[in-house]
Every structure is written in structure tokens, then in C-alpha cells.
Structure 1
């Protein structure tokens, strides 16, 4: 017997009518989905690149030091933007590239074909190649024995060329310049031959470039008030900790005591780190842990707790353990060297170790220890810039990771007695670079140059250090930067050791120091 179908209710009839009415819309949605799948198939490589992260690894440790990523790129700029900035701002770059700010290029690299400077690492983050600072930025410099000689790049010496203040100021001052608007940047990329696909172009226009400008404006709001209060750092120098306070710990200048707002000091050398384990590190000796010193420096370069690449930082640190400075090219009078060594061993070796032929001896009763500035008498600004408040804030970093949590930072009352290996490459002298040559360092402070040119790399054959002619602050120079030691933080006073010697004794001591 045939089963009788139940009667169709009014509700079921209305539902069937709605389904039929929706059929054209469903077919349209299906068509859109199919079209979308086809579009994705065409543009999939581009879209795939906008997810995930990748980084280039270098087999050679020195190449890794020069070009590798440490995780700072999240604080930096897209590689594509690095490549077009010189053409967008020809008035600043004067027809050149980043060498206008003292950046260096590795032998064989060419900025004109898109190569980035030494000290700038790259990493793809969420599909965008970003570039920012690594350790080599501050720790590779150049030397010329004569004005006509080619510049010799030396890894581990202080960067005597880099005008970091000038570069950062350029970025911040132009954060809202129309030349950084998407239309302008994309046109510059097109002119340079940087190809962008249809999808990629819209990602850059509506996401990447607006985010870059937003980041620069935010950084300007934090840093510009501080930089406005400080004398320009000049090449080879940086304010180590004040930008750290503002960027890492959300302070503003109004929260800083006036005594701590200037902390400008020279980039240090980073040769032979193994013998320095356990010494008081940084200019003020505020940490005796190489690992914490290195990680703190990486944070200063733009690394965050989330982006840090610990293996990359540790690989550089391992390489630096035994990186020796090249021997001094000076060949002073042998009798003078012998007489100078006797004076040095009597007056200086306990604090700084000593040079024995081509070998530096890391031995001294007070080597690597902090000397109270009450007796040392040098400019106190860098010492005062590191505060107890900053120390407490630093101890909160990496708090959830026992391997990297900061434990050893401390507030000191002076400056550390540093080893002097590679002394011939470290000019200008004192922690703030306020004394141009070794000859000048042995003079009474009032006889040291009040204003001189720094940022040059030609060796001074007689005085030790780099050629540093006198200058008049405010007057233009063909090259270099006129440092005025009367400016806050730039004082040339203190460290009067050796100033009481006779001229003959000072000459002999200088002969010995030239061998370091």
C-alpha cells in the first residue's frame, strides 16, 4: 500500500519559496568564490609572503656580525624604503647614499644596486623585508695611515664615522614629509625598478607605508624633546641609556631629572671579550656580565623582548671573545718605548693592564674596577644618566625567562678602569671622546683642545689617535664634526694621570702608548 505523504504546512511552503528566491544569490556567491580561488591561485605567492617570518643566515661569523639580524628589524624600516630614501631626499643625501651619515659599505657592495650598509641586518616579518641595526653598526670603523691611503675597515674598533644622531634626526624630522606619502614612495620604487604586483602594491599603499609613518611619528613624539635638549652627539658617539628609558619604559623627558638628560659617550671597542669576563663593563662599570651587557646593547639597537634573536646575538658574542685588534702600525724610538714602559708600569698598569710586545696583558690589581669620579674628576654626565630608576626597570626585562633575566645591573659612583688593547684605534679619548689624541691626554686638562674636529680617520703620526685640527664651533667644515668641550656632557677635565711628568717623560710614555 502506497504511503501517503503528510500535508505540506504553510511554514514549509514559505521556507521552500525562500530557498528558491535565494538560489540566484547562492549561484552568485559561488561564482565569486570560484573567481576568488582563481585570483588567489594567480596571486598566491604574493599573499603567502605576507605571513610568517624568515631570516638569512651567514656561514662566516664575521659576515654574520656585519650583516646578520639580531631581531631589531621590528623597530626599523622596510628594505624597499631604505633603497629609495636617497632619491626621495636628494637635498639630504647630496647625490650619494648612506655614507653621508657615516655608514660604511662592505668591500664589493654598492649602494647604487641596493646593497645595505654594514651594521644593518634584514629579516622578513609578516611578509615584509625589514632592516635595522645590528652590533657592527657601532663597532666597525676605518683607518688611513696617510690622507691618500685607502680606508681600512676594522671590525671591533669603535665606529669613528657614524653620525647616528644625524641619521635618527633625519628620520624623525621627515616623518610627516609629503615625500614619505604612499604615492611618492611607490613612484620612487617604480622609477628604481622595484616591481610590485597588483595585490602587493595595495598592501604597501594601505598597510605597510602608513604603518611606517605612524611608527616614525610615534618615535618622534618620544625622542624629539630629548634630542632638542642635547648637544648633537657627532660621529662616533651615542647617548646610551636615555633613548632606552623613553622607548623601552614609556618615560618622557619631563620625568627625567635635569642631571640625567645628557649621557653622550663614545662607541667602545669590543676586542677580546674573553679576558673581560667578570670585569665591570660599560663606561660606568654598571654590569659585570658579558651576556647581560650584550643583550642590553641589543635592546638599545632596537631589539624587543618578543623579537630578540638570542642565538644570533650569542653567535656574535662567541666570535668577539677572541677577536684581537690588529697590531699598532707605529714604530716609535726603542729607547723611548723602554723608558715609557717603566713609567707606565709604575703609574698605570695596575688600572689598565699593559702591552708586552705584540701581546696585551690583562693583568692589574684594579683592572676592570670602578674608580669613584670624586677622585677621577672626568665629566659626570654619562655616569649620572644611568639611574637607580632605570636599573629597577631593567630588572623587569625577560622576567619570565631565567636564562636571560637581568640580574647584575647596578648603579655605580664612577667610571671603570678599562683595558687598553687596540688603544691606537680608540681615539678620541676619555669616555665621552673629549680629548683628541694621546699626546693631549697627557697634558693638564686646561691645555687640552677646547674644540676640535672628530670623525676623521687619518692617523696622527706624532700624537697618537686621529688627525683632529682645532675648529670654531658653529663654523662650517668640509668634513668632520666640530666638538665643543664646553658643551654639557663634553667636558675634557679629569684623568690627570701623567700630567705632572716632565716633557721628556711624557714623550717617552707616549712612545710606549703608541705600541698598544
Structure 2
């Protein structure tokens, strides 16, 4: 393992994960922290007219999203189905026999991996894995040359769900999977290994026990059905039939000890490294973080832990971890990734710096291909498939936000539009690259990167996809990292991540699809728009990750009323999950913007109604 991966992967995901955001805070208008003059964001209209026939508007937007996906079907497939790595991850045969190895930990059938928040998309007829998990047989040039590995896809975090009043589930493409618990996935893998070890303490004998158990489970499954693992799955011109399945089993068993050993090392190394990181950074909150919070993650910690997992149990590794692992907690909600063109940066007049846009909470990876590569590299896998990042950049540039699926009071929303224009539009403009840092929100997540991590990340990203890197897309050879908006990226590593002084805060991002991003603030600490605008009523704790929806206050069902689903989220349990911020009026450039609406609840209701329509 190269030491640079420790540094690079620590920086990788600090910018990837996060979901519910709103306006953040105030600093000098007109310039970013480097002193570069910015285009006035107020010149970029962000208002959305409220249509008189809301039902017709809903249908039109829904149809437009469907049409967009169909016209970008191959890119959508790479976003949803295709794994981050070309030849690394958990062997598919191991993943699929987990319910046989530990039935008390893993569900089988349609509920497979539901315990960690992954689900089967009812729109997909023949998937053999839940949405968000892909396998390398889909992407390998020679499908029969190696065993199939599984790893996550973009959809694991970025396809969510909401349940309508009639019980129908609507899918939120490019939104937030508020059910996905990435930490718990690895904890359960570790628990499975512990069960298989039993009382055995000798490492070699442990590996032997696990290998024997897995091979036996594979054989038992294959004896029960010759299509147990692939179910005669088809994709394009590839057929994963009984013959393919038999060959995969044979390939796996030829080197079962090696494959199982790599799986064990990866799992145990990560859990050990992540636990060390939690002890370093999450004092008093370690157990909650290790168990995971669905819809949230400290991707900085996950990626950094993967980066130095092979040394985690050594004294040298512990010492390195003290210096390398971030000292500031980076816990955030997952982020919506649609309509990226509204966040895309621009070149300054010199053509040497990127301004006015970004994409993450603090916009620190402004070029879309590298932003997507950062997400792909979060899991610390070798052989990153650059095509996933390239196709996703194409898809997400114009992917429409999912429309609010419930009724709207059009007259009230139109009154709210004027309030939005007066109090919100100046900051929540497309391509506003300014970073705000004085609104009282937790600044923990904005301080996780240091110079070493930033430089390491730049080197890792450009090493994975240089201007000369060539991949095949749509049957032709392309260089996805050769240029950005017409400017060649040769010798331009400095634009891959913004300077540190320009990362210490949060972007005020456009609010398209805002309804689907609840709960709000970067750390998901405010359950509804009502509570955002009426800060005195923010609950100290509430239920997160339900599929039902509070249409009045605008947020997923949050009250602890005995309804099944979700988990309790305590905003007072740790400083990084505080619900403070965006809770007082602010003055910027002599103009005061209303953020606390206790004294005008009718106005708040109108504003909320308008925000539903974005």
C-alpha cells in the first residue's frame, strides 16, 4: 500500500457525503477567500414560477425526468448498476452466502441487505443484488477471466424513497438514500467473521475455519439451485446463466483461501482503523458512530480508515494514524447530486482558477469528474473504474430533481415566492461559489482537511485519471480528464481541490428538490422546513430515515409516535450534530435577510409552500 493513499483517501470523501442543506452564513460579499473577484450571484435567476395547475406541473416534471433518464440510459446504468472497482471488493459468492453463514445477521431473498438500508428497486425486473451494489462481471472485458467482485455503486447513497399517502413508493433518483447505513455494513461483516471464528484464536486456523465455512456454503447453495447466485441474469449481450455460475464457482474454489483472506483482511483492517479514528475524533460518541447513522456518514473517516487499514493494528500504524487521520469530525447527511450544472464552477479570466461553483458542502472539488472519482475511491478499493465517474458526470449534469409528489396550495405558494425572492434568492443562486462561515452551525465538518491531505488527494485523483487517461465510452476512446470547459488540464493539479482558505465554511447551494433533502442543515439536525424557519421549536431529538412524509411541515415523518421505522437522532449527543445555526436574521452588504420567522408564522407558511415547488 502506498502511503500517499492514506493522505489522499482521507481527503477523498470529506466532500462526498451530505444531504440536507440550506443557507449557511455570511462573509465579505463579492470575493472568495483567495481574493478573486466573483460574478455577482444575484445576476443568476433562481426563482421558479408557481404554475396554476400543480397536478399538470407535477406530471410534466415527472415525465421530463423519465425522458431525461431514458435519453441517458447507459450513463444511468453506470450510476446505478456498475461497481466502483474493476477487480476489487467482496467476492460475489461470499456476499450472496452471508445469509447462510449468519442468518441472525443477514436477511435472504428480497430483504437481502435491507438490514443496512439497501433495497430492491421495483422498477428493475431482474436485478440479482439490491440497488447500490454492482458486480464486475458487468464491466470486465472478458467476463470469464476472473471471479466477480462486488462493490457499491453511486445509487447506494443517491437513490432514495418516499411513501405516498396511498402507500405507493416513489423513487428519488439522484437524491438521498436515508436508509443506507454504511458503517453497520462493515460492522456486520466483522460480526459474521467473529461467529465463524468461534473460540479459535490462531490467525491461520481462523482463516481456515472461515474458508471452509464459505466454501461449504457456496457448495450447498449451488446444490440447491444451479442458478442460485445469478438467477439467469441478463444485461446487454451478457448472460449469467448456470454455465457462467458453475465457472465462477470453480474459479473461486481454485484460490478460495486467497480470496477469503483478502476479504478478511479488508474487513478487519477497516473496522480496526475506523475504531481507532473514532477514539481519536469522536470521544463519547464512538459507539453510536460505529453502529452507524442511516443516511449519514463521516466519509472522511471511512476513506481515511481504508487508506491505512493494513497498518491499523501495528504501533507504527497507530502513530501514523494520530498524525494522518482527521482530528475534526466530518459527519454529514448524504447529499443530493442532481442538476450539477447549477453548481458547476467557471474559469476566472486568467483560465488558471475555478470560481463560482463547487458541488459539495464547501465546494472543494470543483471539477465534476474528480468529484465523482472521490466518491468512487471512498471505499479504498484498488483499480478504480474511471468510467463510473465519467458516465455519472454526464448523467448528473442535467438530471432533473424529483418533483414534490403531494398537493400544493398555489395561491399560498405564490405569496411565498415573493418572500423567497426577498430573503433567500440572493444566496441560493446557481453557481454561487462563495463559502459562508458565520451562521452558528457546527464548523467541524468544514475543518477536516489539512495541507498534507489536500496535496495527497490531488495526487491520488490525477494519478487515477490524468489528462492522458483513456477509457471507452459509447464505443469510442475518450479522455475524460483531459479538459474542463474547454481548458486543458495538463499541469493544472492545483484546480483539483480548492485552496484550504477557500474550504473553511459552506456553500449556499441551489434549492431544487429541497423537499427531498430533509432533514436540514449539513448534519441533518433539523427535521423539517418548519423547524428550520421556527428555530425555537426545533426538537432536541427526533426520528430519522422513515419513508412516510410530513407534508405540512415538510420533512420525512419525524415524531416518535410509535410508528415503525427509522431511528432516534439526538442533536445534543455530540457537538458535530448540533441543531444550532440558520436561526437568526443576518445582514449582508447592508441588506437584512429574515431567517427566524417566529414573529411571522403566516409568512413562514407561505415560504414553506413555495419551497415545496422548487
TM-score normalised by the chain length of structure 1: 0.77
Partner of residue 451, structure 2: 388
Partner of residue 254, structure 1: 322
Deviation at 1:376, TM superposition (A): 1.4
Aligned mates of 1:73, 1:477 — CA distance in 2: 42
Partner of residue 376, structure 1: 439
Aligned mates of 2:544, 2:210 — CA distance in 1: 36
Residue by residue, what CA displacement relative to the aligned partner does 1:182-231 show, whole Å, maximum 9, x if unpaired? 22112211221266689646424332222321222222332222246443
- Is residue 72–residue 132 contact of structure 1 (8 Å, CA) maintained in 2? no
Deviation at 1:341, TM superposition (A): 1.2
Deviation at 1:485, TM superposition (A): 0.3
Match of 2:572 among 464, 472, 486: 486
1:81 aligns with 2:94: yes
Structure 2 alignment gaps of length 5 or more: 1-71, 198-208, 227-245, 310-316, 346-356, 468-480, 482-491, 586-594
Partner of residue 146, structure 2: 127
Aligned mates of 1:399, 1:327 — CA distance in 2: 36
Aligned mates of 1:449, 1:68 — CA distance in 2: 40
Aligned mates of 2:440, 2:327 — CA distance in 1: 16
Deviation at 1:337, TM superposition (A): 1.3
Partner of residue 36, structure 1: none
Aligned counterparts, 1:21-420, within 5 A: 60-71=74-85, 74=88, 76-93=89-106, 96-107=111-122, 115-124=128-137, 127-146=146-165, 148-178=166-196, 181-193=210-222, 200=251, 202-227=253-278, 229=282, 230=286, 231-232=288-289, 233-248=292-307, 253-255=321-323, 259-260=327-328, 262-278=329-345, 279-304=357-382, 307-353=383-429, 362=430, 367-372=432-437, 375-398=438-461, 402-403=466-467, 404=481, 406-408=493-495, 409=497, 410-411=499-500, 412-420=503-511
Instruction: Give 3-state SS (helix, strand or coil) of 1:138's partner.
Output: helix
Residue by residue, what CA displacement relative to the aligned partner does 1:92-128 show, whole Å, maximum 9, x if unpaired? 2356421111102132668xx9811111121158611
- Is residue 82–residue 153 contact of structure 2 (8 Å, CA) maintained in 1? yes
Aligned mates of 2:256, 2:402 — CA distance in 1: 48
Aligned mates of 2:401, 2:326 — CA distance in 1: 38
- Is residue 326–residue 449 contact of structure 2 (8 Å, CA) maintained in 1? no
Structure whose alpha-carbon radius of gyration is higher: 1
- Is residue 379–residue 491 contact of structure 1 (8 Å, CA) maintained in 2? yes
Aligned mates of 2:253, 2:78 — CA distance in 1: 34
Partner of residue 512, structure 1: 610
- Is residue 442–residue 578 contact of structure 2 (8 Å, CA) maintained in 1? yes
Q: Number of aligned residue pairs: give it.
A: 434
Aligned counterparts, 1:9-20, within 5 A: none
Structure 1 alignment gaps of length 5 or more: 1-57, 354-361
RMSD of aligned residue pairs (Cα, Å): 2.8
Deviation at 1:291, TM superposition (A): 2.1
Question: Bigger shift: 289-298 or 167-176?
Answer: 167-176
Deviation at 1:268, TM superposition (A): 0.6
